[in-house]
Structure 1
Amino acid sequence: MGQYFKISAPRLRRALGNGGKLRAMLFGGTAKALVHVLAVPIEPQPPSSSSSPDPTLVPTEPKYTPPAIDVVTSGPAKDPPTVVHSRPGKRQANDEAPSQRVKKLETTASRALDKGVKASFLLTFPSLPPELHELIFAHLDSIEDLICLSVTSRYFWVIGYKHIQQYYTSLLGRWAGHNIICIGDYVDAGDYPPHLFSAEEEQELNQMKVGFDGSCLDSSAGSDTSADAQPLTLYDLAIEPIGTIEEVVDLYQTSTRTLHSCMRRCRSSKRLSDFKHPELVMRNSTYFPPSQTWILRNLTTHEIVLPTAVALRPEYINGPFIRGLGFGEVVMARTCWTSDYGVAMSCGADICRGVWAGHRFDITTLSRHDEESKGEEWTDVSEDVSREIAHIWECEDGPDWREIIHNTISALEQGDDSNGCVLDD
């Protein structure tokens, strides 16, 4: 069958996708998912008044008119109303019994009171202090609740849209600053890249075993370890049930699906127009502006890689996303780790013990890096990385490897692949 690899954040016990053969992953686009989990988003600016919902669509005040009901208050007792009795006679079959009339009156009064409470809430809620509104928005866990409340008025739109943006920001760059490794399933127990774990952590991991069902067993804690239990390896941390799969978020699909969920809550088709705002449909360019220069950083070694050293053409660069060959391929190629060098690749055994295996990374803007790294020493390794990547691709695809990538990109551009990883917006 051959050796399988998975891209993993071992400390998080998370992995990308289902893995596969190293060459298929590296040359087939799997590595591009790394950009989505390593790129640190830039939170967009709050909406201006011009981007607020149309005032004709979203009222500034609730349109609900409270029903005219009497409110019972304490005070002097009043005389009961005069009851006029009709001429006594035989009760008809369709006449209501007194108890039924009383029950109907109680039900009507209860419904009217409920409407009055709702009306009172709708009139009181907007008049609360802004600080309370901020707290209420901050405590809404559901993105659908956030959106539905935000579109009720221009005032709530300004408050709520900020929280909507924060929600989508939280879905991005989840592996930034964490240790990354592309681990092979032939790795030996106890074979760890340097500096990934402390000596104490390695000792603890070496005492772990994996049961026949894949569950983790701690032999040092007196767990019932069966005879067929195997020592824990780094690969076990990347697969279920010990590890979990990290879902790569497609902003456009996720936000569109969320918007449709909100629209299904509408009881009236007239309210559907409240959700027709382009600001509620998110794209990569919303959080990763292509006007900025984005760089790959190795936070462990204080090294940076510029996009121009990786991209085959400048026009392939679109923020942190680079068509064809990008930052994801660089990280994957340099973080591979296995004890068995049989990977069916022509580039040699060096790729099996990556120089960056287990290091911490992020992808950020050059301006943000310059601001954060004042007084720190960083090394630009763009040329070294460019030569290494060229060597790997030439070994596998020959001297015309660049032309092969150009042709692949052209074919994708002509096809309907706007949501693919290669053509990130």
Structure 2
Amino acid sequence: MGQYFMISAPRLRRALGNGGKLREMLFGGTAKALVHVLAVPIEPQLPPSSSLDSTLVPTEPKYTPPAIDVVTSGPAKDPPTVVHSRPGKRQANDEAPSQRVKKLETTTSSDFDKGAKASFLTTFPSLPPELHELIFAHLDSIEDLICLSVTSRYFWVIGYKHIQQYYTSLLGRWAGHNIICIGDYVDAGDYPPHLFSAEEEQELNQMKVGFDGNCLDSSAGSDTSADAQPLTLYDLAIEPMGTIEEVVDLYQTSTRTLHACMRRCRSSKRLSDFKHPELVMRNSTYFPASQTWILRNLTTHEFVLPTAVALKPEYINGPFIHGLGFGEVVMARTCWTSDYGVAMSCGADICRGVWAGHRFDITTLSRHDEESRGGEWTDVSEDVSKEIAHIWECEDGPDWREIIHNTISALERGDDSDSCVSDD
């Protein structure tokens, strides 16, 4: 059947997709998924309030609760003490806090008049902003965040940044982590440099895999069956030890979430509250094309410019490059296997990638310049460009660039579909 490969973050025990033959993955678009998990998003700013006037409900007036007399029980034989709840600093002749803390008597609702009841029911918008921030921060559900945020312009300002933080957390999840495109013919104990420490390698070498795919640690006295096999890097990429991770489609995810919020609304008049263009997310929201994005090898302090990879400048759309981009570069340079039979014409070098097991991210050039002040980084764009051209020419011949151009043109005409190619 031939050798199969998986794009893996072995320390995270995660893999992208179900893998396949190396050539099919590299030339068929699978590698593009790496851009989605390595690109570090830019969190968008709150849009101007003027653009929201037609969609947001009016802000409720701020409410300040009146002073309410609360009777507390004082010391024995002392008359009841009346404490007034009111804003402001403690007066100089007030008692110390330890003297003022008293046990509240049990009070029924009948002890309050209708005005007092109403004041307690309408104080949520009047809580201090710090408490509102805490409430938003403790909402785990994105649907809850959105539904509360659209109730007023005031809550929209607070909630919008929490909504953006939620969607930001779905992006760039592999940035800064070790990456390897591992083949299933890899030998046990065959690890690329920089991936594990000597102690970690020794621990992995003591592990075995049972017939069900689960890991058995022989050093811990676990029962190991006769058919158990030594653990390999490929075992860490597949289930049950590894977890298959799908690329997040921001547009589909945010649209599906928005529809779930709208189903909660019982009044058709309030459905317009959810019609905000800011609640429908796209890659361009977090990865602006106006910025120059670069691929960085954080292990070796090397970087690659987009112009060295893209066949045409117009193919560059933020970190996403049509046809051939950063994903193909990372995959081609991180392949690792012990068996060089990969059915590719480019030679055995691709089987022992020079970047296998290294850490990566894709970030903006301006952010890189700011973060790397005083640090030494090497521009390897020219070397990478030559290497990629060699691989593609070996496989598709001297007209390989024209083949990619034709594929992109076909996708733009709608002759085929590839969600990894699209930026939205």
Q: TM-score, normalised by structure 1?
A: 0.86
Structure-2 change in CA distance of 1:273 and 1:418 (3 Å): farther
Assess, with a 3 A threshold, how the Cα gap between structure 1 residues 83 and 243 changes in structure 2: closer, same or farther. Answer: closer
CA contact (8 A) 2:68 2:85 kept: no
TM-aligned CA deviation for residue 195 of structure 1: 1.5
- Contact 1:64–1:122 under 8 Å retained in 2: no
Pairing of 1:392-407 with structure 2 (within 5 A) = 392-407=391-406
Q: Deviations over 1:285-343 (max 9, x none)?
A: 11001000000000000000000000000000000000000000000000000000000
What per-residue deviation string (whole Å, max 9, x for no partner) do you get for residues 80-100 of structure 1? Answer: 999999999999999999999
Quote the offset at 1:8 in angstroms.
0.2
CA contact (8 A) 1:52 1:154 kept: no
Give the deviation of 1:422 after TM superposition: 1.1
Give me the whole-angstrom Cα distance separating, in 2, the residues matched to 1:38 and 1:141.
Answer: 25
**Contact 1:193 / 1:358 at 8 angstroms: preserved in 2?**
yes
Q: Deviations over 1:192-227 (max 9, x none)?
A: 001210000000000111111111110000001111
Identify which range, 255-264 or 411-420, moves more after superposition. Answer: 411-420
Cα distance change on mapping 1:370 and 1:114 into 2, 3 Å: farther
Larger radius of gyration: 1
> What SS does structure 2 have at the residue aligned with 1:18?
strand
Q: Find out whether 1:257 has 2:259 as its counterpart.
A: no
Q: Distance in 1 between matches of 2:204 and 2:144?
A: 42
Q: Is the 8 A contact 1:41 1:288 kept in 2?
A: yes
Give yes or no for contact 1:35–1:320 (8 Å, CA) kept in 2: yes
CA deviation profile, 1:64-118 (whole Å, cap 9, x unmatched): 9999999999999999999999999999999999999999999999999999999
CA spacing shift, 1:314–1:95, aligned 2, 3 Å: closer
Separation of aligned partners in 2, 1:86 and 1:292? 53
Instruction: Specify the alignment match of 1:3 in structure 2.
Output: 3
Contact 2:4–2:21 (8 Å) recurs in 1? yes
Please report how far the alpha carbon of residue 189 of structure 1 lies from its aligned counterpart in structure 2 after TM superposition.
0.3
Deviation at 1:129, TM superposition (A): 0.1
Are 1:199 and 2:198 matched, yes or no? yes
- Give, in angstroms, the shift of residue 275 of structure 1: 0.2
Following superposition, the deviation at residue 415 of structure 1 comes to 0.4
1:37 matched to which residue of 2? Answer: 37
Contact 1:40 1:173 (C-alpha < 8 Å) held by counterparts: yes
The number of aligned residues is 423
Aligned residue for 2:208, secondary structure, equals: strand
CA separation of 1:18/1:66 partners in 2, compared to 1, >3 Å: closer, same or farther?
A: same
Runs of 4+ in 1 over 6 A off after TM superposition: 62-119, 416-419
Q: Name the CA distance, whole Å, in 2 between partners of 1:302 and 1:23.
A: 28
Please say if residues 69 and 113 of structure 1, whose CA atoms lie closer than 8 Å, have aligned partners that are also in contact.
no
Cα distance between partner residues in 2 of 1:28 and 1:86: 69
Q: Secondary structure at the match of 1:424?
A: coil
Measure how far apart 1:247 and its partner are: 2.1
Identity of aligned residues (%): 94
Q: Decide whether the 8 Å contact of 1:64 with 1:119 is kept in 2.
A: no
1:184 aligns with 183
Q: 1:55 to 1:111 in 2, by over 3 A?
A: farther
Q: CA deviation at 1:281?
A: 0.4
C-alpha distance in structure 2 between counterparts of 1:293 and 1:386, whole Å: 18
The answer on whether the counterparts of 1:65 and 1:119 sit within 8 Å (CA) in structure 2 is no
Per the TM alignment, residue 46 of structure 1 is displaced from its structure 2 partner at its CA by 2.0
More off after superposition, 110-119 vs 210-219: 110-119
Contact 2:38–2:175 (8 Å) recurs in 1:
yes
Secondary structure at 2:111 match in 1: helix
Q: 1:174 to 1:85 in 2, by over 3 A?
A: closer
Which residue does 1:132 correspond to in 2? 131
**Residue in structure 2 matched with residue 158 of structure 1 by the alignment:** 157
Give 1:397 deviation, angstroms: 0.4
Gap change, CA 1:67 and 1:407, over 3 Å in 2: farther
Structure 2 counterpart SS, 1:17: strand
1:129 to 1:55, Cα distance in 2 relative to 1, 3 A: farther
Q: Is the 8 A contact 1:66 1:119 kept in 2?
A: no
Over residues 350-376 of structure 1, what are the superposed CA-to-partner deviations in whole Å (9 max), with x where a residue is unaligned? 000000000000000000000000111
Alpha carbons of structure 1 residues 179 and 205: separation in structure 2 relative to 1, 3 Å: same
* Distance change >3 Å, CA 251–CA 115, structure 1 → 2: farther
2:28 aligns with 28
Kindly indicate whether the alpha-carbon contact (under 8 Å) linking 2:71 and 2:104 is maintained by their aligned counterparts in 1: no
Mean alpha-carbon deviation: is it higher for 351-360 or for 81-90? 81-90
2-structure distance, mates of 1:383, 1:14: 31
State whether residues 67 and 112 of structure 1, in contact with CA within 8 Å, keep that contact through their aligned partners in structure 2. no
Distance 1:81 1:120, change over 3 A: closer
TM-score normalised by structure 2 residue count: 0.86
Quickly say closer, same or farther: Cα 1:94–1:165, change in 2 above 3 A: closer
Structure 1 unaligned regions, length at least 5: none
| SS in structure 2 at match of 1:347 | coil
Q: 1:124 to 1:52 in 2, by over 3 A?
A: farther
Q: Contact 1:67–1:115 at 8 Å: present in 2 too?
A: no
Moved more, 160-169 or 415-424: 415-424
Q: Secondary structure at the match of 1:8?
A: strand
Mapped contact 2:41–2:287 kept (Cα < 8 A): yes
Structure 1 Cα separation of the partners of residues 366 and 97 of structure 2? 80
CA distance in 2: counterparts of 1:88 and 1:287, whole angstroms: 42
Of the structure 1 ranges 305-314 and 114-123, higher mean CA displacement relative to structure 2 is found in: 114-123
Q: 1: CA distance between counterparts of 2:416 and 2:151?
A: 36
User: 1:421: how far off?
Assistant: 1.4
Do the aligned partners of 2:74 and 2:80 also contact (CA within 8 Å) in 1?
A: no
Where does structure 2 lack aligned partners over 5 or more consecutive residues?
none
Instruction: Name the structure 2 match of 1:366.
Output: 365
Q: What SS is found at the alignment partner of 1:52? A: helix
**Aligned mates of 2:89, 2:195 — CA distance in 1:** 94
Task: Note the C-alpha offset of 1:423.
Answer: 2.2
* Segment of structure 1 superposing worse, 213-222 or 76-85: 76-85
Q: Is contact 2:71–2:105 with CA below 8 Å preserved after alignment?
A: no
- Aligned mates of 1:22, 1:170 — CA distance in 2: 30
Q: Secondary structure at the match of 1:7?
A: strand
